[in-house]
Amino acid sequence: MNIDYSQELPVVEGRLTLREINDLIARPMDERPNKKYFIALSFTLSLLFIGAISVALTLYYGIGMWGNNQPVGWAFDIVNFVFWVGIGHAGTLISAILFLLRQKWRTGIARFAEAMTIFAVMCAAIFPILHTGRMWVAVVYLLPYPNQHSLWVNFSSPLIWDVFAVSTYFAVSLVFWYVGLIPDFATLRDTTASKIKKVIYSIFSLGWRHSHRNWQHYEKSYMLLAGFATPLVLSVHTIVSFDFAVSILPGWHTTIFPPYFVAGAIFSGFAMVVTVLIFVRKIFDLENIITINHLEKMNKVILATGMMVGYAYAMEFFIAWYSGNPIEQFVFINRAFGPYAWAYWIMVSCNVIFPQFFWIKKIRRSIPIMLMIVIFVNIGMWFERFVITVTSLHRDFLPSSWGYYTPTLVDFGVLIGSFGLFFTLVLLFTKTLPVVSISEVKAVAEGAQPSHNGGDH
């Protein structure tokens, strides 16, 4: 297929009119969910139920129900936390960074990706809060609150930075998402036939009138939010990487961690977004709005970030040797050839080798192969965090305290539950809110902008 480089690819395919776009996106909210939807929902709810039981066990018996014990004091909890926070990065990346880069193709997927961010951060928050033990008093030692003992949280601790970073990230993502939704709520309010829905939409639309005097500030605020969300998204995973990297543990303490974690987060986040979008565009007939070109572009990003992650793996290995520090060298040899070698090689093959297939254009545009690869990437990125956390801990400086970490059933239960929560929320979202931004897609449709906009100004 030859591309004509002198023409821009249309973002919305099929030459839809504005009204058609409107109806297409708003339709899932007006139709009664079908049987398939309920089958899917019951599946995710059962996963969630497994998670709920595991959380209940953890709360009742304490976190002794988990497999982590000396020397591996951090395991599934931090692995899952970092995994979910990483997934959450794609959303803000798509909505903020691609917005600043003026990539118009983002409009089709931004809303969905942002929603996934919010859900993913909710899933991520489960783990550290559970790990505090008595989570109902967690607020006392996670947030600085005035007290008569003058006892404050330790602002030099990366774990407290995490609290600030993740909660800020959640708040800002939510606000960003909501700001994007306001005009859509207004449109739904004006199109819906149901009275109850109309009341709900009216409340959430805040009385939006599509007035240009408002659009002007609105666009400015969107730009400002994007400008803030971009460094924020970088900072969150940077701070997550600080959890490890400020320590002196070989395998954790290495200076490349911040950019490496951010690249990994984008990598895993895009993989998850592609995974979900493949189904969503099919089920809701959004193939003209979330086109194969969108998916191809995302696959290119996955390829690029996958190689960045590969670069970091290689760099870590090289510098471990180059440092001349025998302990550093041991940790990396142990990682690749020690008892957890299986995890390491799963990680390398899923994250570095499989994405290389995306060099081939046919594969980038083939839905089944793409789906397979992005699922591998999801698995690989989970294992990356597992490898970093567990292999560095399980053989520490004293050979007498070496051990082997095995997760318990409860560990798996909470992990499964987090997936259940995530997909349940995703399913509910698809039926209650427009999965694609109505106003943004309209704005990039063909002929949506005045033609005499050229010339110097």
Partner 1 sequence: MSQSNLNYIKKDLPTSLQKIGFLLIGIGVIGGAGAFLLNAEQAAFNYLLGFMFLMSIGVGALFLISLEYVAGADWSTPLRRVIEFTASITPFLIILAIPILLNMHTLFHWSHTEVVESDKILKEKAPYLNQTFFFIRVAIVFALWTLFYFLLTRNSRKQDISKDQNLTRVNIRLSAVFIPLFAITASIASIDWMMSLEPHWFSTIFGVYFFSGSVLSALAVITYATVKLREGGYLHPRMVKDHYYSLGSLLFVFVNFWGYIAFSQYMLIWYANLPEETFWFLARWQGSWIYISLALIFVHFIVPYSILLSQPAKMDAKKLKFASLWILFAHLLDLYWLILPTFKGESTLLNFVLGLSFPVAAVGGIILLFYFNSKKTNMVPVGDPKLERGLNFRL
Partner 2 sequence: MEQNKKVFGIAALYDSPNAIIKAAKTVTDKGYKNFDVHSPYPVHGMDKAMKLPPSKLGFVTLAFGLSGAAIALLFMYWTMTIDYPMIIGGKPFFSLPAFIPVTFELTVLLATLSTVIGMVTFFFYFPNNSHPIHDTNYMKSVSIDKFGLCIEADDEKFNEEEINKLFTDLGAIKIEKIFFPDKLNVKILEPKFIGLLLIVAAFVSVSTYLHLNKVLYLVPFNWMMDQGRLDVQSSSELFGDKFGMRNPVKGTVARGFMPYEYQGVNEPTSPLSNPYLPTKENLSLGEKKYNSFCSPCHGNLGDGDSRLRGQFPLPPSLHSSKSRDWLDGNLYHVIVNGQNVMPSYSSQLSREERWAIVNYIRVLQRAKNASEADIQEIKKEPVTNVSE
For the chain, the residue count is 457
Binding string, 77-106, against partner 1, x = CB under 8 A?
A: -----------------------x-x----
Question: Is 401 near partner 2 (CB under 8 A)?
Answer: no
Kindly tell me which of 66 and 344 has the beta carbon lying closer to partner 2.
66
Count of residues binding partner 1 (CB under 8 A)?
Answer: 41
Binding part of the chain for partner 1, among 1-9, 170-178, 388-396, 430-438 by CB under 8 A, reads 1-9
35 binds, among partner 1, partner 2, none (CB under 5 to 8 A by kind): none
**Contact status, residue 273 vs residue 89, Cβ threshold 8 Å:** no
Question: Is 312 near partner 1 (CB under 8 A)?
Answer: yes
Instruction: Supply angle C-alpha 379, 384, 388, rounded to 5.
Output: 150
**Contact status, residue 93 vs residue 233, Cβ threshold 8 Å:** yes
| Interior/surface letters 123-162, b for 16+ CB within 10 angstroms, e for the rest | bbbbbbbbbeeebeebeeebeeeeeeeeeebeeeebebbb
Instruction: Provide the 3-class DSSP secondary structure of residue 288.
Output: coil
CA–CA distance from 293 to each of 105, 358, 364, 367 (Å)?
9, 14, 9, 12
Question: Is 397 near partner 1 (CB under 8 A)?
Answer: no
Question: Is 157 near partner 1 (CB under 8 A)?
Answer: no
DSSP alpha helix (H) spans, 246-325: 257-283, 292-322
Contact with partner 1 (CB under 8 A) among 145, 337, 359, 397: 359
Q: How far is the CB of 400 from partner 1 (least distance, A)?
A: 24
Kindly tell me which of 27 and 361 has the beta carbon lying closer to partner 2.
27
Closest CA to 121 of 153, 154, 167, 60: 167
27 binds, among partner 2, partner 1, none (CB under 5 to 8 A by kind): none
Question: Is 179 near partner 2 (CB under 8 A)?
Answer: yes
Residue 210 backbone phi and psi in degrees, to 5: 60, 25
Q: Which of residues 415-454 bind partner 2 (CB under 8 A)?
A: 438-440, 442-443, 447-453
Question: Which residues bind to partner 1, rule: CB under 8 A?
Answer: 2-8, 100, 102, 231, 234, 238, 242, 245-248, 253-259, 304, 307-308, 311-312, 315-316, 319, 322-325, 359, 453-454, 456-457
